[in-house]
Amino acid sequence: MAPNDDSLFPTAQAVEGEVIAPEGSIAPLVDDTQAAGLDLKVRSQWSYARMRFFRHRLALIGLFGLVIIFGAGIVAGHVAPYGYADIDLEHILQGPTHAHYFGTDDLGRDQFTRVIWGIRTSMEVGVFVAFVSTFVGLVVGAIAGYYGGWLDNLLMRVTDLVLTLPLLAVLLTATRLLGQGSQWRVSLILVFFFWTGIARVVRGIYLSLREKEYVEAAKASGAGDARLMFRHILPNTLGPIVVNATLAVGTAILVEAALSFLGFGIKPPTPSLGVLVSDAQRNPNDWWLTVFPGLAIVAIVLCINFVGDGLRDALDPTQRRMRA
Please give the residues from 271 up to 290 whose contact with another protein meets the rule CB under 8 A. 274, 277, 281, 284-285, 287, 290
Distance CA 46, CA 52 (A): 10
Q: Which residue in 38, 163, 214, 231 binds another protein (CB under 8 A)? A: 163
Backbone angles phi, psi at 263, to 5 degrees: 90, 10
Q: Does 246 bind another protein (CB under 8 A)?
A: no
Stretch in the footprint of another protein (CB under 8 A) among 136-144, 160-168, 193-201, 238-246: 160-168
Contact between 192 and 170 under an 8 Å Cβ cutoff? The reply is no
Minimum distance, C-beta of residue 215 to another protein, in the bound complex (Å): 30
Minimum distance, C-beta of residue 307 to another protein, in the bound complex (Å): 12
Query: What distance separates the 2 farthest-apart alpha carbons in the chain?
Result: 81
Distance CA 157, CA 119 (A): 36
List the beta bridge partners of residue 266. 181
Q: Does 154 bind another protein (CB under 8 A)?
A: no
Minimum distance, C-beta of residue 294 to another protein, in the bound complex (Å): 4
Q: Does 186 bind another protein (CB under 8 A)?
A: no
Q: Does 301 bind another protein (CB under 8 A)?
A: yes
Give every CB contact of residue 40 below 8 A, 6+ residues apart in sequence.
Answer: 20, 22, 33
Distance CA 299, CA 291 (A): 12
Q: Does 254 bind another protein (CB under 8 A)?
A: yes
Q: Which residue in 12, 14, 61, 172 binds another protein (CB under 8 A)? A: 172
Please give the residues from 218 up to 237 whose contact with another protein meets the rule CB under 8 A. none
Contact between 53 and 310 under an 8 Å Cβ cutoff? The reply is yes
Minimum distance, C-beta of residue 178 to another protein, in the bound complex (Å): 8
- Identity of the residue, 19 or 167, whose beta carbon is nearer to another protein in the bound complex: 167
Please compute Rg for the chain using Cα positions: 24
Residue 222 gets the label, from left (phi > 0), alpha (psi -120 to 50) or beta, of left
- Identity of the residue, 219 or 267, whose beta carbon is nearer to another protein in the bound complex: 267
Stretch in the footprint of another protein (CB under 8 A) among 8-16, 70-78, 144-152, 175-183: 175-183
Q: Does 322 bind another protein (CB under 8 A)?
A: yes
Distance CA 187, CA 195 (A): 12
Give every CB contact of residue 14 below 8 A, 6+ residues apart in sequence.
Answer: 317, 318
Q: Can you say whether the dihedral through the CA atoms of 153, 154, 157, 163 is positive or negative?
A: negative
Q: Which residue in 250, 265, 271, 317 binds another protein (CB under 8 A)? A: 250
Helix 183-209, helix 111-147: angle, nearest 10: 30
Q: Does 262 bind another protein (CB under 8 A)?
A: yes
Q: Contact residues for another protein (CB under 8 A)? A: 1, 160-161, 163-166, 168-170, 172-174, 176-178, 250, 254, 257-258, 261-264, 274, 277, 281, 284-285, 287, 290-291, 294, 297-298, 301-302, 305-306, 322-324
